[in-house]
Amino acid sequence: MRHIRWIFGLLALTMMLPLAAAQAREFTGENALGVETDLMRRTQEGLDLIYQREYQLALRHFREVGEIYPDSPIGPFGRSVVFQAMMLENFDYEYRDTYRVEADKSLERVEKALNSSQLKGWNQFIYAGIIGLDGLDRVREGDYLTAFNKGWDAIESMKKAGRAEPTFADPDLGIGIYNYWRTAITDRVDFLPRFGDHRAEGIAQMERARDEGMLVWAGASFALAYTYMEERDYDKAIAECLTLQQEYPNSIINNMLLGRVYTKAKDYDSAVATFERIQTIDPSNRRVLWHLGDTYYKTRRHDADARRYFEQYLEQSIPASYICHTHYRLGQIAQRSKDYDEAIRRYELAIEADGKYKPAQTRLESVKKKKAAKALKSKGAASNSR
Protein backbone atom coordinates (compact mmCIF):
# COMPACT_ATOMS: atom_id res chain seq x y z
CA MET A 1 0.00 0.00 0.00
CA ARG A 2 3.05 2.27 0.06
CA HIS A 3 2.37 3.76 -3.39
CA ILE A 4 -1.31 4.28 -2.59
CA ARG A 5 -0.30 6.34 0.45
CA TRP A 6 1.95 8.48 -1.69
CA ILE A 7 -0.69 9.07 -4.36
CA PHE A 8 -3.02 10.47 -1.73
CA GLY A 9 -0.14 12.37 -0.18
CA LEU A 10 0.72 14.01 -3.48
CA LEU A 11 -2.94 14.86 -4.14
CA ALA A 12 -3.19 16.45 -0.71
CA LEU A 13 0.01 18.41 -1.25
CA THR A 14 -1.49 20.04 -4.34
CA MET A 15 -3.14 22.34 -1.80
CA MET A 16 -0.26 22.40 0.67
CA LEU A 17 2.50 23.73 -1.51
CA PRO A 18 1.83 27.25 -2.76
CA LEU A 19 3.51 29.57 -5.22
CA ALA A 20 7.29 29.77 -5.01
CA ALA A 21 8.82 33.09 -4.10
CA ALA A 22 11.43 32.64 -6.85
CA GLN A 23 8.78 33.54 -9.39
CA ALA A 24 8.68 37.05 -7.88
CA ARG A 25 4.90 36.99 -8.07
CA GLU A 26 3.08 39.28 -5.72
CA PHE A 27 0.01 37.94 -4.01
CA THR A 28 -2.40 40.29 -5.71
CA GLY A 29 -5.25 37.82 -5.82
CA GLU A 30 -5.96 38.65 -9.45
CA ASN A 31 -7.56 35.75 -11.29
CA ALA A 32 -9.72 34.90 -14.26
CA LEU A 33 -12.00 32.58 -12.29
CA GLY A 34 -14.32 35.21 -10.89
CA VAL A 35 -13.10 34.62 -7.33
CA GLU A 36 -13.13 37.78 -5.23
CA THR A 37 -9.65 39.27 -5.46
CA ASP A 38 -9.22 39.76 -1.72
CA LEU A 39 -10.25 36.16 -0.98
CA MET A 40 -7.82 34.78 -3.56
CA ARG A 41 -4.99 36.94 -2.21
CA ARG A 42 -5.65 35.79 1.34
CA THR A 43 -5.73 32.17 0.14
CA GLN A 44 -2.34 32.57 -1.51
CA GLU A 45 -0.85 34.28 1.54
CA GLY A 46 -2.15 31.59 3.88
CA LEU A 47 -0.76 28.78 1.75
CA ASP A 48 2.59 30.54 1.65
CA LEU A 49 2.65 30.69 5.44
CA ILE A 50 2.08 26.93 5.61
CA TYR A 51 5.01 26.12 3.40
CA GLN A 52 7.20 28.54 5.34
CA ARG A 53 6.25 26.45 8.41
CA GLU A 54 4.67 29.46 10.07
CA TYR A 55 1.91 27.20 11.29
CA GLN A 56 0.53 29.32 14.12
CA LEU A 57 0.45 32.39 11.89
CA ALA A 58 -1.31 30.33 9.23
CA LEU A 59 -3.93 29.11 11.72
CA ARG A 60 -4.69 32.67 12.79
CA HIS A 61 -4.69 33.83 9.17
CA PHE A 62 -7.24 31.25 8.04
CA ARG A 63 -9.39 31.84 11.13
CA GLU A 64 -9.60 35.47 10.05
CA VAL A 65 -10.44 34.41 6.48
CA GLY A 66 -13.25 32.26 7.83
CA GLU A 67 -14.65 35.20 9.80
CA ILE A 68 -14.47 37.62 6.88
CA TYR A 69 -15.89 35.09 4.40
CA PRO A 70 -18.24 32.88 6.47
CA ASP A 71 -19.77 31.26 3.39
CA SER A 72 -16.41 30.30 1.87
CA PRO A 73 -14.77 26.94 2.67
CA ILE A 74 -11.31 28.50 2.49
CA GLY A 75 -11.06 29.44 6.19
CA PRO A 76 -11.66 26.00 7.72
CA PHE A 77 -10.03 24.21 4.79
CA GLY A 78 -6.86 26.24 5.23
CA ARG A 79 -6.81 25.33 8.91
CA SER A 80 -7.34 21.65 8.11
CA VAL A 81 -4.35 21.79 5.75
CA VAL A 82 -2.20 23.26 8.54
CA PHE A 83 -3.06 20.43 10.92
CA GLN A 84 -2.47 17.81 8.24
CA ALA A 85 0.89 19.37 7.32
CA MET A 86 2.01 19.24 10.96
CA MET A 87 1.05 15.57 11.14
CA LEU A 88 2.80 14.73 7.87
CA GLU A 89 6.08 16.06 9.22
CA ASN A 90 6.13 13.24 11.78
CA PHE A 91 3.76 10.77 10.10
CA ASP A 92 1.64 10.79 13.25
CA TYR A 93 -1.98 11.48 14.23
CA GLU A 94 -1.48 14.14 16.89
CA TYR A 95 -3.93 16.69 15.47
CA ARG A 96 -6.43 14.32 13.88
CA ASP A 97 -9.46 15.31 15.96
CA THR A 98 -8.89 19.02 15.36
CA TYR A 99 -8.24 18.37 11.68
CA ARG A 100 -11.53 16.52 11.37
CA VAL A 101 -13.50 19.39 12.92
CA GLU A 102 -12.09 21.86 10.39
CA ALA A 103 -12.42 19.40 7.49
CA ASP A 104 -16.11 18.84 8.28
CA LYS A 105 -16.74 22.60 8.37
CA SER A 106 -15.01 23.10 5.02
CA LEU A 107 -16.91 20.23 3.41
CA GLU A 108 -20.24 21.60 4.62
CA ARG A 109 -19.45 25.00 3.15
CA VAL A 110 -18.16 23.76 -0.19
CA GLU A 111 -21.16 21.47 -0.70
CA LYS A 112 -23.42 24.51 -0.34
CA ALA A 113 -21.23 26.43 -2.78
CA LEU A 114 -21.47 23.61 -5.33
CA ASN A 115 -25.25 24.06 -5.40
CA SER A 116 -24.70 27.50 -6.85
CA SER A 117 -24.17 28.20 -10.52
CA GLN A 118 -21.31 30.55 -9.64
CA LEU A 119 -17.57 29.77 -9.61
CA LYS A 120 -18.01 26.21 -10.83
CA GLY A 121 -14.32 25.65 -11.61
CA TRP A 122 -13.09 27.13 -8.36
CA ASN A 123 -15.59 25.30 -6.16
CA GLN A 124 -14.90 21.95 -7.82
CA PHE A 125 -11.18 22.48 -7.30
CA ILE A 126 -11.61 23.29 -3.61
CA TYR A 127 -13.96 20.31 -3.18
CA ALA A 128 -11.32 18.05 -4.74
CA GLY A 129 -8.71 19.40 -2.34
CA ILE A 130 -10.92 18.83 0.70
CA ILE A 131 -11.85 15.24 -0.08
CA GLY A 132 -8.38 14.42 -1.43
CA LEU A 133 -6.88 15.52 1.87
CA ASP A 134 -9.42 13.44 3.75
CA GLY A 135 -8.58 10.49 1.51
CA LEU A 136 -4.97 10.78 2.64
CA ASP A 137 -6.11 10.73 6.25
CA ARG A 138 -8.22 7.61 5.64
CA VAL A 139 -5.26 5.83 4.03
CA ARG A 140 -3.12 6.53 7.06
CA GLU A 141 -5.65 4.84 9.32
CA GLY A 142 -5.97 1.85 6.95
CA ASP A 143 -9.46 2.59 5.60
CA TYR A 144 -8.44 1.97 1.99
CA LEU A 145 -11.92 1.52 0.52
CA THR A 146 -13.14 4.88 1.79
CA ALA A 147 -9.87 6.46 0.74
CA PHE A 148 -10.12 5.02 -2.77
CA ASN A 149 -13.66 6.33 -3.18
CA LYS A 150 -12.63 9.78 -1.99
CA GLY A 151 -9.61 9.77 -4.27
CA TRP A 152 -11.75 8.85 -7.28
CA ASP A 153 -14.23 11.59 -6.38
CA ALA A 154 -11.37 14.08 -6.06
CA ILE A 155 -10.04 13.24 -9.53
CA GLU A 156 -13.48 13.59 -11.10
CA SER A 157 -13.86 17.01 -9.46
CA MET A 158 -10.43 18.07 -10.73
CA LYS A 159 -11.55 17.13 -14.23
CA LYS A 160 -14.77 19.11 -13.81
CA ALA A 161 -12.78 22.10 -12.62
CA GLY A 162 -10.54 21.91 -15.68
CA ARG A 163 -13.50 21.63 -18.05
CA ALA A 164 -15.28 24.57 -16.39
CA GLU A 165 -12.17 26.78 -16.56
CA PRO A 166 -9.79 25.58 -19.35
CA THR A 167 -7.26 28.32 -18.54
CA PHE A 168 -7.09 27.16 -14.90
CA ALA A 169 -3.91 25.06 -14.88
CA ASP A 170 -3.96 24.05 -11.21
CA PRO A 171 -6.32 21.05 -11.61
CA ASP A 172 -3.80 19.52 -14.01
CA LEU A 173 -1.65 18.66 -11.02
CA GLY A 174 -4.15 16.23 -9.52
CA ILE A 175 -5.04 14.81 -12.93
CA GLY A 176 -1.36 14.41 -13.84
CA ILE A 177 -0.59 12.60 -10.59
CA TYR A 178 -3.49 10.25 -11.27
CA ASN A 179 -2.46 9.55 -14.88
CA TYR A 180 1.16 8.83 -14.01
CA TRP A 181 0.66 6.77 -10.88
CA ARG A 182 -2.29 4.73 -12.09
CA THR A 183 -0.08 3.62 -14.98
CA ALA A 184 2.90 2.95 -12.71
CA ILE A 185 0.92 0.87 -10.24
CA THR A 186 -1.19 -1.13 -12.69
CA ASP A 187 1.95 -2.07 -14.62
CA ARG A 188 3.45 -3.38 -11.39
CA VAL A 189 0.48 -5.28 -9.91
CA ASP A 190 -0.61 -8.27 -12.01
CA PHE A 191 -4.23 -8.51 -10.85
CA LEU A 192 -5.06 -4.87 -11.65
CA PRO A 193 -6.55 -4.08 -15.09
CA ARG A 194 -4.24 -2.28 -17.48
CA PHE A 195 -4.76 1.44 -17.97
CA GLY A 196 -2.42 2.07 -20.88
CA ASP A 197 0.79 4.04 -20.57
CA HIS A 198 -0.08 7.59 -19.48
CA ARG A 199 3.23 8.40 -17.78
CA ALA A 200 4.34 11.03 -20.28
CA GLU A 201 0.88 12.61 -20.29
CA GLY A 202 0.86 12.75 -16.50
CA ILE A 203 4.30 14.34 -16.31
CA ALA A 204 3.32 16.93 -18.92
CA GLN A 205 0.21 17.82 -16.91
CA MET A 206 2.24 18.21 -13.73
CA GLU A 207 4.71 20.40 -15.61
CA ARG A 208 1.88 22.62 -16.85
CA ALA A 209 0.64 23.03 -13.27
CA ARG A 210 4.16 23.90 -12.15
CA ASP A 211 4.69 26.45 -14.93
CA GLU A 212 1.22 28.00 -15.16
CA GLY A 213 -0.49 27.14 -11.88
CA MET A 214 -1.95 29.98 -9.84
CA LEU A 215 -1.80 28.17 -6.50
CA VAL A 216 0.11 24.93 -6.88
CA TRP A 217 3.44 25.82 -8.51
CA ALA A 218 5.43 24.35 -5.65
CA GLY A 219 3.05 21.44 -5.19
CA ALA A 220 3.67 20.44 -8.78
CA SER A 221 7.41 20.75 -8.30
CA PHE A 222 7.20 18.42 -5.28
CA ALA A 223 5.01 15.94 -7.17
CA LEU A 224 7.42 15.97 -10.10
CA ALA A 225 10.35 15.33 -7.78
CA TYR A 226 8.67 12.24 -6.40
CA THR A 227 7.71 11.14 -9.93
CA TYR A 228 11.27 11.57 -11.20
CA MET A 229 12.46 9.51 -8.23
CA GLU A 230 10.10 6.74 -9.35
CA GLU A 231 11.56 7.10 -12.87
CA ARG A 232 15.05 6.85 -11.34
CA ASP A 233 15.92 10.20 -12.86
CA TYR A 234 17.53 11.33 -9.64
CA ASP A 235 19.19 14.44 -11.08
CA LYS A 236 15.81 15.90 -12.07
CA ALA A 237 14.26 14.93 -8.74
CA ILE A 238 17.07 16.60 -6.82
CA ALA A 239 16.84 19.74 -8.98
CA GLU A 240 13.12 20.11 -8.20
CA CYS A 241 13.72 19.68 -4.47
CA LEU A 242 16.64 22.10 -4.42
CA THR A 243 14.53 24.74 -6.17
CA LEU A 244 11.94 24.41 -3.42
CA GLN A 245 14.61 24.31 -0.74
CA GLN A 246 16.04 27.58 -1.97
CA GLU A 247 12.68 29.31 -1.68
CA TYR A 248 11.41 27.51 1.42
CA PRO A 249 14.52 26.34 3.31
CA ASN A 250 12.56 25.40 6.44
CA SER A 251 10.16 23.04 4.69
CA ILE A 252 10.59 19.73 6.47
CA ILE A 253 8.30 17.97 3.99
CA ASN A 254 10.51 18.98 1.06
CA ASN A 255 13.76 18.26 2.90
CA MET A 256 12.47 14.79 3.81
CA LEU A 257 11.88 14.07 0.14
CA LEU A 258 15.26 15.50 -0.89
CA GLY A 259 17.01 13.28 1.65
CA ARG A 260 15.13 10.26 0.35
CA VAL A 261 16.15 11.04 -3.23
CA TYR A 262 19.80 11.36 -2.20
CA THR A 263 19.51 7.98 -0.48
CA LYS A 264 17.98 6.41 -3.59
CA ALA A 265 20.80 7.89 -5.65
CA LYS A 266 23.30 6.40 -3.14
CA ASP A 267 24.63 9.86 -2.31
CA TYR A 268 24.56 8.97 1.36
CA ASP A 269 26.66 11.90 2.59
CA SER A 270 24.22 14.41 1.05
CA ALA A 271 21.28 12.44 2.44
CA VAL A 272 22.66 12.51 5.97
CA ALA A 273 23.45 16.23 5.66
CA THR A 274 19.88 16.92 4.52
CA PHE A 275 18.34 14.93 7.36
CA GLU A 276 20.64 16.64 9.85
CA ARG A 277 19.42 19.94 8.42
CA ILE A 278 15.92 18.90 9.44
CA GLN A 279 17.15 18.32 12.98
CA THR A 280 18.48 21.87 12.98
CA ILE A 281 15.16 23.24 11.73
CA ASP A 282 13.16 21.26 14.28
CA PRO A 283 15.14 19.30 16.90
CA SER A 284 11.90 17.70 18.10
CA ASN A 285 11.11 16.06 14.76
CA ARG A 286 10.78 12.31 15.29
CA ARG A 287 10.45 10.91 11.78
CA VAL A 288 13.90 12.12 10.73
CA LEU A 289 15.41 9.59 13.17
CA TRP A 290 13.97 6.80 11.03
CA HIS A 291 15.40 8.32 7.85
CA LEU A 292 18.86 8.75 9.37
CA GLY A 293 18.81 5.16 10.57
CA ASP A 294 17.60 3.90 7.21
CA THR A 295 20.25 5.87 5.30
CA TYR A 296 23.06 4.54 7.49
CA TYR A 297 21.63 1.02 7.15
CA LYS A 298 21.70 1.26 3.38
CA THR A 299 25.36 2.29 3.30
CA ARG A 300 26.14 -1.22 4.63
CA ARG A 301 29.09 0.33 6.47
CA HIS A 302 27.50 2.12 9.41
CA ASP A 303 25.31 -0.39 11.20
CA ALA A 304 26.20 1.05 14.62
CA ASP A 305 24.92 4.48 13.56
CA ALA A 306 21.82 2.90 12.05
CA ARG A 307 21.07 1.03 15.27
CA ARG A 308 21.55 4.19 17.32
CA TYR A 309 19.00 6.20 15.33
CA PHE A 310 16.51 3.34 15.15
CA GLU A 311 16.71 2.87 18.92
CA GLN A 312 16.15 6.61 19.41
CA TYR A 313 13.14 6.43 17.12
CA LEU A 314 11.65 3.59 19.15
CA GLU A 315 11.88 5.78 22.24
CA GLN A 316 9.43 8.24 20.65
CA SER A 317 5.65 8.13 20.57
CA ILE A 318 5.11 6.59 17.12
CA PRO A 319 2.35 4.53 15.43
CA ALA A 320 2.46 0.73 15.66
CA SER A 321 3.28 0.27 11.98
CA TYR A 322 6.46 2.35 12.39
CA ILE A 323 7.42 0.41 15.52
CA CYS A 324 7.08 -2.69 13.37
CA HIS A 325 9.20 -1.35 10.52
CA THR A 326 11.92 -0.17 12.90
CA HIS A 327 12.24 -3.54 14.65
CA TYR A 328 12.27 -5.14 11.21
CA ARG A 329 15.25 -3.02 10.17
CA LEU A 330 17.04 -3.81 13.43
CA GLY A 331 16.39 -7.47 12.70
CA GLN A 332 17.96 -7.10 9.28
CA ILE A 333 21.03 -5.46 10.83
CA ALA A 334 21.37 -8.30 13.32
CA GLN A 335 20.86 -10.89 10.60
CA ARG A 336 23.52 -9.21 8.48
CA SER A 337 26.04 -9.73 11.30
CA LYS A 338 24.74 -13.30 11.82
CA ASP A 339 23.45 -12.49 15.30
CA TYR A 340 20.50 -14.80 14.78
CA ASP A 341 19.14 -14.62 18.34
CA GLU A 342 18.87 -10.84 18.14
CA ALA A 343 17.41 -11.02 14.64
CA ILE A 344 14.73 -13.45 15.85
CA ARG A 345 13.93 -11.18 18.79
CA ARG A 346 13.54 -8.14 16.56
CA TYR A 347 11.38 -9.89 13.96
CA GLU A 348 9.14 -11.19 16.74
CA LEU A 349 8.79 -7.65 18.10
CA ALA A 350 7.93 -6.43 14.59
CA ILE A 351 5.18 -9.05 14.30
CA GLU A 352 3.94 -8.17 17.79
CA ALA A 353 3.58 -4.51 16.69
CA ASP A 354 1.92 -5.33 13.36
CA GLY A 355 0.95 -8.92 12.68
CA LYS A 356 -0.04 -8.10 9.09
CA TYR A 357 3.53 -7.23 8.06
CA LYS A 358 4.42 -10.38 6.10
CA PRO A 359 8.12 -9.59 5.41
CA ALA A 360 8.83 -9.88 9.15
CA GLN A 361 7.22 -13.32 9.30
CA THR A 362 9.15 -14.44 6.22
CA ARG A 363 12.44 -13.21 7.66
CA LEU A 364 11.70 -14.79 11.04
CA GLU A 365 11.18 -18.22 9.48
CA SER A 366 14.32 -17.84 7.38
CA VAL A 367 16.51 -16.86 10.33
CA LYS A 368 15.20 -19.71 12.46
CA LYS A 369 16.22 -22.14 9.71
CA LYS A 370 19.67 -20.55 9.46
CA LYS A 371 20.10 -20.73 13.23
CA ALA A 372 19.11 -24.40 13.22
CA ALA A 373 21.50 -25.12 10.34
CA LYS A 374 24.32 -23.33 12.16
CA ALA A 375 23.64 -25.32 15.32
CA LEU A 376 23.59 -28.58 13.37
CA LYS A 377 26.85 -27.70 11.65
CA SER A 378 28.47 -26.82 15.00
CA LYS A 379 27.26 -30.10 16.49
CA GLY A 380 28.71 -32.03 13.56
CA ALA A 381 32.04 -30.23 13.84
CA ALA A 382 32.18 -31.00 17.54
CA SER A 383 31.49 -34.70 16.89
CA ASN A 384 34.21 -34.91 14.26
CA SER A 385 36.78 -33.36 16.58
CA ARG A 386 36.38 -36.16 19.15
3-state secondary structure the chain: CHHHHHHHHHHHHHHHCCCCHHHCCCCCCCCCCCCCHHHHHHHHHHHHHHHCCCHHHHHHHHHHHHHHCCCCCHHHHHHHHHHHHHHHHHCCCCCHHHHHHHHHHHHHHHHHHHCCCCCHHHHHHHHHHHHHHHHHHHHHCCCHHHHHHHHHHHHHHHHHHHHHCCCCCCHHHHHHHHHHHHHHHHHHCCCCCCCCCCHHHHHHHHHHHHHHCCCCHHHHHHHHHHHHHHCCCHHHHHHHHHHHHHHCCCCHHHHHHHHHHHHHCCCHHHHHHHHHHHHHHCCCCCHHHHHHHHHHHHHCCCHHHHHHHHHHHHCCCCCHHHHHHHHHHHHHHHHHCCCHHHHHHHHHHHHHHCCCCHHHHHHHHHHHHHHHHHHHHHHHHHHHCC
User: Does the pLDDT at position 3 exceed 80?
Assistant: no
Burial of 67 (0-12, 13-18, 19+ CB in 10 A): exposed
| pTM confidence score | 0.87
193 lies in some domain:
yes
Q: What is the pLDDT of residue 15?
A: 45
Q: Which residues contact 24 (CB under 8 A, 6 or more apart)?
A: none
d(CA 63, CA 85): 17
Lowest mean pLDDT of 74-83, 117-126, 146-155, name the range.
146-155
Q: What is the average per-residue pLDDT within 52-81?
A: 97
Residue 377 lies in a domain: no
pLDDT of residue 264: 97
Can you tell me the distance from the alpha carbon of 316 to that of 91, in angstroms, rounded to the nearest whole number?
A: 12
CATH number at residue 4: 1.25.40.10
pLDDT in tens, 241-300: 999 999 999 999 999 999 999 999 999 999 999 999 999 999 999 999 999 999 999 999
Percent of the chain with pLDDT over 90: 73
229 neighbors 215 (Cβ within 8 angstroms): no
Q: Is residue 30 part of a domain?
A: yes
Is residue 123 pLDDT above 50, yes or no?
yes
Nearest to 11 by CA among 107, 82, 102, 81: 81
> Does some domain include residue 39?
yes
CA distance 210 to 151: 21
pLDDT of residue 137: 82
**CA atoms of 79 and 81, how far apart (whole Å):** 5
Please say whether the beta carbons of 154 and 174 come within 8 A. yes
Residue 81 lies in a domain: yes
Q: How confident is the model at residue 380 (pLDDT cuts 50, 70, 90)?
A: low
Tens digits of per-residue pLDDT, 175-228? 999 889 888 877 666 666 767 888 999 999 999 999 998 888 888 999 999 999
Q: What is the mean pLDDT of residues 324-352?
A: 98
* 226 to 36, 50, 170, 192, 217: CA distances (angstroms): 34, 20, 18, 23, 15
CB 136 within 8 A of CB 11: yes
Q: Is residue 222 part of a domain?
A: yes
Domain enclosing residue 89, as ranges: 1-248
Give the chain's domain count.
1
Please answer whether residues 53 and 17 qualify as being in contact, where contact means their C-beta atoms are separated by less than 8 angstroms. Answer: no
User: In the structure, what pLDDT confidence band is assigned to residue 4 with cuts at 50, 70 and 90?
Assistant: very low
* CB burial readout 317-330, b (16+ within 10 A) else e: ebbeebbbbbbbbb
Q: Is residue 299 part of a domain?
A: no
Distances (CA, A) of 303 to 193, 272, 310, 328: 41, 14, 10, 14
Is there a domain that residue 177 lies in?
A: yes
Per-residue pLDDT at 386 exceeds 70: no
Residue 56 CB coordination number (10 Å): 10
